[in-house]
């Protein structure tokens, strides 16, 4: 029996190639001297010219994050207890509203520093359900008590041995069963029976719980942790986001923080790790010190009527978080609901080029849809700026010190080493005296032992306490091809993949030598090392895919990284029926790294690596660095559709940035084209407003610059009309400012490889059917975009134009200053010409009077 399998995709063929209120104008008095008006006119013109040439303040294009725009952070203060004083403790939860399955940051100050013994002064976090908005949850409603490795007070037991809680009155009698675990607080799920034992793992286990039971205070009595909050999708037994009251409102859930001091519930001091605080935080005396934070989740699912007919969409994972947010708003005022299926971009493009009767009519893609020129025109509309990132969680202990790695630099050759399983423990764990596999013989055990890595990250002294491989998704995708392109464009990385050792002697895993990794960028991540390593169980082996299993997708990879456990399994024993198993580590000693999209990395608050761009500048993905990259992207084979190209990313540009396009054929029914045009208009309008509420742009995306919004609205109009005009120019992204994507002149659509239509066509097309926005170009729909699209293009669901419509500060300032320039020039000209006109008027008036006489 062998647990080793070959790469499930290694034999796949490679793919071919604001409305503004008018300012009140103060009129000059009738006796104002003409000379003063001349002076004022000169001053106005001078001011206008100065205003026009002043530079926009740097950094103005970086929109405020969702947290800055609408913070729901809550801070609470502890109190003095029977034995430990927590009155100086302050605990903050970074986000408490508009929650989904995600991570929130929990931080605290004012506690007592922990000792080197794992016995005292730590924090415990858990998620609970409960219907009482005043009292919060009961002990029985909290998920707690399942851990793989023992830490103090990590169970639901109330009386482990000697530390009886004098305040405990609910659970006094011992169960009759001889093998009972003793007194415990049962877990009562939102539906179903309560647990019957302290070690009853019916609803959650140590491998999948989100409980953080051991968070020691640092040397200053502070601490910080990213806590994964879960909806009913991830934790059905809590029901968060799905439970509703009689009025239909979503009922709250709760985050409970329980500080632990230096005493057990009976007042006895916890002396050492041999005699720690063994009592549960659910024990009454300890539970009374809890701090409770209400969590308001977004409704699970959308608010679309179940009987509404659907319009199907499909495509790139890069747009999944955005589309999931937009879906509930797209129902408003429309006749259809829009469903989205995440799939590889090539599959999505096939739905457009070779549709069936049931194919989705709108595909989200990074690379454009290229046809043979005989099919109907295909419209491409930019809808999102996203990208790839290397996300990580890296905690390790060195002696008595705990370390959290937050700064990490990786270059292309290090990524090549990780993707080709070229470290020893990518293939075989260094235990039981087993030799190194031949495929990686002589190479470093893990990345933190690689001299190249240490040269870039000298402050990391983790040694073997490091990630043992890169968590990657299973899907074939344009984004995988982007990462491989980024790697092979670098001379050092390319040479390594072609078999040249690095300067320290590390070589490519020999299992990858025949793959021709530099010939053409792959659209997936192969795992080609088939080395089988025997376990303690006869006939049971493990391989590299057991050490670092594939994730389903990048979201799943981000979640595995946040939990600090990729699913590593290499232990076998008879009690597990000869199945491989692994152990999820404590958070303080967890380390994982992998490939995630920027939205998922932000969603789970992952640390992200800085990567070198074409200049060699190490850059992290931010709004500014991704928008900078957009300005430098060349056109793809379809003019007007930008192609991500890491070799073009210079200055502050992040090299793994992508623009996602919505692609649709004009060969669809008129009502389908109208509906899909609504999606594009919303995505390019209100959908670019950063925030956490339904319909807004989640964190991790950069709002589309105005030029791309205009291009999207133009494409939406073309799709709705079903006619693509000829003779346009390609979108060039405009200037290369730090945050502004510039002006895009092309419509960005057309048959594969043909020239797109001009965005300056005129026409009387109105906004999509069912839109409730006001007529005319509002900020929400892209002020200049509607005009450029040749008609009214009000954003779906928009009733007023708001400052938060996604227009960047410099776009707004740029528009305002030119408006002011016009006003001042006209005002100055009027002031200068006023005396002359007055004289002319006096002469003319005198002549007329003379004539009358």
Q: Do residues 379 and 429 both lie within one domain?
A: no
User: Could you give the strand order of the β-sheet that contains 223-229, starting from the edge strand earlier in sequence?
Assistant: 74-77, 90-93, 102-109, 223-229
Domain membership of residue 203 (yes or no) is yes
Whether pLDDT at 830 is above 60 = no
Q: Do residues 798 and 824 both lie within one domain?
A: no
Report angle CA 834, 837, 840 to the nearest 5 degrees. Answer: 150
Domain membership of residue 628 (yes or no) is no
- The tens digit of pLDDT for each residue in 706-733 reads 999 999 999 999 999 998 765 433 444 4
Residue 311 in contact with residue 334, Cβ under 8 Å? no
Tokens coding 703: 């709002």
Report CA-CA distances (Å) from 194 to 203, 211, 773: 10, 18, 50
pLDDT for the residue 244? 86
Task: Give me the long-range contacts of 445-452 (CB less than 8 A, separation at least 24).
Answer: 447/414, 447/417, 447/418, 447/423, 450/414, 450/417, 450/423, 450/504, 450/506, 451/504, 452/411, 452/413, 452/414, 452/502, 452/503, 452/504, 452/506
Q: How many CB atoms lie within 10 A of CB 568?
A: 21
Residue 243 belongs to domain spanning? 73-295
Q: Do residues 439 and 566 both lie within one domain?
A: yes
CA 794 remoteness from chain centre = 28
Q: Do residues 319 and 364 both lie within one domain?
A: yes
Mean pLDDT of 643-668: 98
Domain membership of residue 500 (yes or no) is yes
Q: Quick one: which of 654, 627, 632, 628 has its CA closest to 643? A: 632
- The whole-angstrom separation of Cα 11 and Cα 32 is 86
- The whole-angstrom separation of Cα 568 and Cα 698 is 31
Domain membership of residue 486 (yes or no) is yes
Whether pLDDT at 118 is above 90 = no
Q: Do residues 511 and 460 both lie within one domain?
A: yes
- The tens digit of pLDDT for each residue in 567-620 reads 888 888 766 666 788 888 888 889 999 999 999 999 999 999 999 999 999 999
Last residue of a domain, one of 267, 295, 323: 295
Q: Do residues 796 and 827 both lie within one domain?
A: no
- The whole-angstrom separation of Cα 82 and Cα 421 is 54
Q: Do residues 353 and 282 both lie within one domain?
A: no
Whether pLDDT at 508 is above 70 = yes
Q: Do residues 327 and 279 both lie within one domain?
A: no
- The tens digit of pLDDT for each residue in 552-566 reads 999 999 999 999 999
Judging by beta carbons within 10 Å of its beta carbon (0-12, 13-18, 19+), is residue 773 exposed, middle or buried?
A: buried
Q: pLDDT class for 221, splitting at 50, 70, 90? A: very high
Domain membership of residue 483 (yes or no) is yes
- The whole-angstrom separation of Cα 292 and Cα 257 is 7
Q: Do residues 374 and 448 both lie within one domain?
A: no
Q: Do residues 108 and 185 both lie within one domain?
A: yes
Q: Do residues 377 and 482 both lie within one domain?
A: no
Last residue of a domain, one of 272, 295, 318: 295
Q: Do residues 797 and 822 both lie within one domain?
A: no
Task: Give me the long-range contacts of 44-47 (CB less than 8 A, separation at least 24).
Answer: 44/824, 44/825, 44/827, 44/828, 44/831, 45/824, 45/825, 45/828, 45/829, 45/832, 47/824
pLDDT for the residue 153? 85
CATH of the domain at 380: 3.40.190.10
Cα dihedral 777, 782, 786, 788, rounded to 10, equals 130
Whether pLDDT at 832 is above 50 = no
- The whole-angstrom separation of Cα 319 and Cα 327 is 12
pTM metric for this prediction: 0.79
Mean pLDDT of 747-773: 36
Domain membership of residue 776 (yes or no) is yes
Q: Quick one: which of 813, 629, 637, 639 has its CA closest to 726? A: 639
Which helix (DSSP H) or strand (DSSP E) does residue 115 occupy?
Answer: none
In percent, the amount of the chain with pLDDT more than 70 equals 72
Q: Quick one: which of 339, 346, 317, 384 has its CA closest to 556? A: 317
Q: Quick one: which of 514, 701, 728 has its CA closest to 602? A: 701
pLDDT for the residue 365? 99
Whether pLDDT at 815 is above 90 = no
Domain membership of residue 250 (yes or no) is yes
- The whole-angstrom separation of Cα 462 and Cα 754 is 53
Domain membership of residue 761 (yes or no) is yes
CA atoms within 13 A on the CB side of 376: 16
- The tens digit of pLDDT for each residue in 428-477 reads 998 777 899 999 999 999 999 999 999 999 999 988 899 999 999 999 99
- The whole-angstrom separation of Cα 481 and Cα 483 is 5
Tally of structural domains, the chain:
4
pLDDT for the residue 117? 66
pLDDT for the residue 400? 59
């Amino acid at each position: 029996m062998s647990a080793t399998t070959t790469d499930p995709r290694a034999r796949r063929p490679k793919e071919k190639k604001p409305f503004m209120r008018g300012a009140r104008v103060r009129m000059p008095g009738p006796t104002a001297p003409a000379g003063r008006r001349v002076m004022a006119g000169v001053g106005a013109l001078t001011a206008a010219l100065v205003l026009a040439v002043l530079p926009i303040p740097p950094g103005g294009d970086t929109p405020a994050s969702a947290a800055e725009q609408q913070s729901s952070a809550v801070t609470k203060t502890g109190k003095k207890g029977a034995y430990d004083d927590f009155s100086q403790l302050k605990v903050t939860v970074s986000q408490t509203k508009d929650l989904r399955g995600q991570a929130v940051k929990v931080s605290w100050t004012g506690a007592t520093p922990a000792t080197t013994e794992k016995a005292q002064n730590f924090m415990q976090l858990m998620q609970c359900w409960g219907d009482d908005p005043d009292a919060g949850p009961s002990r029985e409603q909290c998920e707690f008590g399942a851990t793989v490795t023992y830490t103090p007070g990590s169970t639901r037991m109330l009386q482990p041995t000697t530390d009886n809680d004098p305040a405990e009155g609910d659970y006094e009698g011992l169960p009759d069963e001889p093998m009972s675990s003793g007194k415990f607080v049962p877990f009562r799920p939102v539906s179903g029976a309560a647990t019957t034992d302290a070690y009853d793992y019916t609803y959650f286990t140590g491998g999948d719980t989100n409980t953080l039971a051991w968070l020691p205070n640092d040397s200053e009595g502070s601490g910080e942790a990213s806590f994964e909050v879960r909806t009913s999708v991830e934790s059905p037994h809590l029901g968060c986001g799905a439970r509703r009251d009689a009025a239909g409102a979503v009922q709250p859930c709760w985050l409970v923080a329980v500080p632990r001091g230096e005493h057990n519930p009976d007042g006895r001091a916890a002396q050492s790790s041999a005699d720690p605080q063994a009592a549960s935080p659910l024990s009454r005396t300890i539970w009374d010190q809890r701090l409770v934070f209400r969590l308001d989740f977004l409704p699970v699912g959308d608010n679309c009527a179940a009987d509404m007919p659907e319009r199907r969409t499909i495509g790139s994972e890069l747009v999944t978080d955005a589309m999931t947010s937009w879906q509930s708003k797209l129902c408003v005022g429309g006749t259809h609901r829009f469903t989205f299926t995440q799939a590889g971009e090539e599959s999505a493009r096939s739905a457009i080029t070779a549709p069936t009767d049931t194919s989705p009519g709108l595909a989200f893609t990074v690379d454009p849809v290229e046809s043979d020129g005989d099919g109907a025109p295909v419209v491409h509309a930019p809808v999102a700026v996203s990208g790839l990132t290397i996300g990580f969680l890296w905690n390790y202990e060195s002696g008595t010190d705990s370390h959290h790695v937050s700064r990490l630099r990786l270059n292309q050759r290090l990524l090549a080493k990780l993707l080709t399983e070229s470290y020893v423990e990518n293939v075989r764990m260094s235990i039981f005296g087993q030799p190194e596999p031949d495929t990686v013989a002589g190479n470093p055990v893990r990345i933190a032992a690689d001299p190249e890595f240490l040269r870039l990250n000298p402050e990391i002294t983790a040694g073997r306490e490091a990630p043992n491989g890169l968590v990657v998704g299973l899907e074939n995708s344009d984004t995988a091809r982007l990462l491989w392109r980024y790697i092979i464009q670098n001379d050092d990385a390319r040479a390594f993949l072609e078999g040249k050792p690095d300067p320290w002697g590390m070589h490519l895993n020999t299992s990858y030598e025949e793959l021709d990794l530099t010939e053409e960028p792959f659209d997936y991540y192969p795992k080609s090392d088939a080395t089988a390593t025997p376990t303690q169980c006869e006939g049971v082996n493990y391989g590299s895919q057991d050490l670092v299993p594939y994730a389903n997708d990048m979201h799943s990879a981000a979640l595995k990284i946040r939990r600090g456990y990729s699913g590593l399994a290499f232990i076998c024993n008879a009690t597990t029926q000869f199945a491989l198993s692994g152990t999820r580590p404590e958070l303080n000693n967890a380390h994982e790294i992998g490939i995630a999209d920027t939205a998922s990395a932000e969603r789970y608050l992952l640390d992200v690596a800085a990567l070198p761009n074409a200049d060699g500048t190490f850059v992290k993905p931010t709004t500014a660095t991704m928008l900078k990259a957009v300005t430098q992207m060349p056109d793809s084979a379809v003019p007007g559709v930008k192609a991500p190209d890491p070799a073009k990313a210079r200055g502050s540009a992040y090299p793994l940035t992508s623009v996602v396009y919505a692609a649709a054929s004009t060969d669809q029914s008129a009502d389908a084209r109208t509906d899909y045009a609504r999606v594009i208009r919303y995505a390019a309008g209100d959908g670019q407003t950063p925030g956490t509420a339904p319909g807004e742009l989640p964190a991790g995306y950069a709002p589309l610059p105005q030029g791309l919004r205009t291009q999207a609205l133009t494409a939406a109009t073309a799709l709705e009309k079903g006619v693509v005009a000829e003779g346009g120019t390609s979108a060039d992204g405009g200037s290369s400012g730090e945050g502004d994507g510039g002006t895009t002149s092309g419509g960005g659509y057309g048959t594969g490889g043909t020239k797109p239509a001009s965005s300056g066509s005129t026409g009387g097309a109105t906004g999509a059917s069912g839109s409730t926005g006001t007529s005319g170009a509002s900020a929400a729909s892209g002020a200049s975009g509607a005009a450029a699209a040749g008609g009214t293009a009000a954003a779906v669901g928009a009733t007023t134009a708001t400052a938060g419509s996604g227009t960047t500060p410099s776009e707004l300032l740029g528009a305002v200053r030119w408006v002011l320039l016009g006003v001042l020039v006209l005002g100055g000209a009027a002031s200068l010409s006023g005396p002359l006109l007055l004289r002319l008027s006096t002469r003319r008036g005198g002549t007329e009077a003379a004539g009358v006489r």
